[in-house]
């Protein structure tokens, strides 16, 4: 099930899939079934949920109404509560949490570009769904610690807001030591909150969770060399939150920095950096003027005044 705008693009231009490694696949629209009606869920054997966090309740209601009981439902969404919300709303379904480590840039005219590396991980279940979802150029594996993996990705996703505020591409932002230092401080603050809640994040990179802030603070030439072994990022990459602000859409800040602030408040753990970032993003949403191009210095100055 796709949005009418996306169906119109693909119907008119076909589906064009590219990635950071040079993959280029063109799919004729005539071989695709692109439905905008939830009635298509009636014949689905597997449902991949990719809507924003705020739309999870609505899609759960549609699945409950139209899909067959027992169908596999996989949440490929940012945030930690989506799979839990789906499980609660869909007791008759096989709901799995999932983690997508890469980002996809919509190029227009039916084109979608995978701009960073990594493979999908989903929760293990009664049947081997990972093999079914694995396709050429994209591996899907299963894990019995999907929650830990999601929390590890959650920490990485906190950079979504910083990238959006910077107005830079992801590659440019990560080459800027000032933004990396802010990312490291934010990471440590959030990790402290998770530890207080008894949560152990699992790294989605070859580097341990605790070492990542240290790596982010390294001089840029050394950081670049180490980061190249952890993640491939091409020049077109922006985070999903940056794309949302560009398109004047509501972001998922409440499911990221907002969640850190709430969890910190629950146990009286200060979270000034995450709180500040959340406030700036919400201001940018209200302004609806695209990327705000905020500087690290402006954020630091505002933090110093609190």
Q: What whole-number distance in Å separates Cα of residue 99 and Cα of residue 146?
A: 8
User: Per-residue pLDDT tens for 240-281?
Assistant: 899 898 888 889 999 999 999 999 999 999 999 999 999 999
Q: What whole-number distance in Å separates Cα of residue 51 and Cα of residue 48?
A: 9
User: Per-residue pLDDT tens for 182-225?
Assistant: 999 999 999 999 999 999 999 878 889 999 999 999 999 999 98
- Return the CATH fold of 4-144: Rossmann fold (3.40.50)
Average pLDDT, stretch 171-178? 93
pLDDT at 26 over 90: yes
- Which residue's structure tokens are 């099930």? 1
Mean pLDDT of the chain: 91
Reference 89, options 73, 113, 104; nearest CA is 73
- Which residue's structure tokens are 């692109």? 34
pLDDT at 45 over 90: yes
- Quickly list DSSP for 81-130: HHHHHHHHH-TTSEEEEEE--S-EEEEETTEEEE-B---EEEE--SS-HH
Q: What whole-number distance in Å separates Cα of residue 66 and Cα of residue 35?
A: 14
* 3-class secondary structure per residue, 146-161: HHHHHHHHHHHHCHHH
pLDDT at 290 over 70: no
Domain extents for the chain? 4-144, 150-305
- pLDDT for the residue 235: 81
Containing 262, the helix (H) or strand (E) segment is helix 257-266
Reference 215, options 198, 231, 236, 237; nearest CA is 231
- pLDDT for the residue 110: 93
pLDDT at 127 over 70: yes
- pLDDT for the residue 306: 66
- Return the CATH fold of 150-305: 1.10.1040
Confirm if 14 and 27 have CB atoms less than 8 A apart. Answer: yes
Low-confidence winner among 96-110, 206-220, 232-246 (lowest mean pLDDT): 232-246
């Amino acid at each position: 099930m796709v949005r009418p705008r996306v169906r119109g693009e693909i119907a008119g231009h076909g589906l064009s899939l590219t990635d950071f490694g040079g993959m280029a696949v063109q799919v004729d629209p005539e071989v695709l079934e692109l439905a905008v009606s939830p009635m298509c869920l009636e014949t689905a054997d597997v449902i991949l949920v990719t809507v924003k966090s705020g739309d999870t309740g609505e899609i759960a209601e549609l699945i409950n109404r139209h899909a067959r009981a027992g169908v596999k439902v996989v949440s490929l969404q940012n945030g930690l509560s989506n799979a839990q919300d789906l499980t609660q709303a869909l007791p008759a379904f096989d709901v799995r949490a999932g983690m997508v480590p890469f980002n996809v840039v919509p190029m227009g005219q039916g084109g979608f570009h995978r701009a960073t590396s990594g493979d999908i991980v989903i929760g293990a279940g009664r049947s081997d769904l990972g093999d079914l979802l694995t396709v050429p150029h994209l591996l899907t594996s299963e894990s019995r610690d999907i929650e830990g993996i999601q929390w590890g990705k959650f920490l990485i996703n906190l950079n979504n807001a910083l990238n959006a505020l910077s107005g830079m591409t992801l590659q440019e932002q990560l080459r800027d030591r000032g933004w990396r230092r802010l990312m490291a401080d934010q990471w440590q603050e959030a990790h402290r909150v998770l530890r207080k809640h008894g949560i152990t994040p699992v790294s989605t990179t070859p580097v341990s969770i605790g070492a990542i802030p240290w790596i982010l603070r390294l001089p840029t030439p050394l950081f670049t060399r180490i980061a190249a072994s952890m993640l491939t990022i091409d020049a077109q990459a922006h985070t999903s939150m940056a794309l949302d602000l560009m398109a004047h859409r509501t972001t998922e800040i409440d499911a990221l920095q907002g969640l850190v602030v709430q969890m910190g408040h629950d146990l009286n753990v200060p979270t000034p950096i995450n709180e500040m970032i959340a406030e700036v993003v919400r201001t940018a949403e209200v302004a609806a003027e695209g990327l705000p191009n905020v500087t690290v210095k402006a954020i630091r100055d505002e933090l110093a005044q609190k």
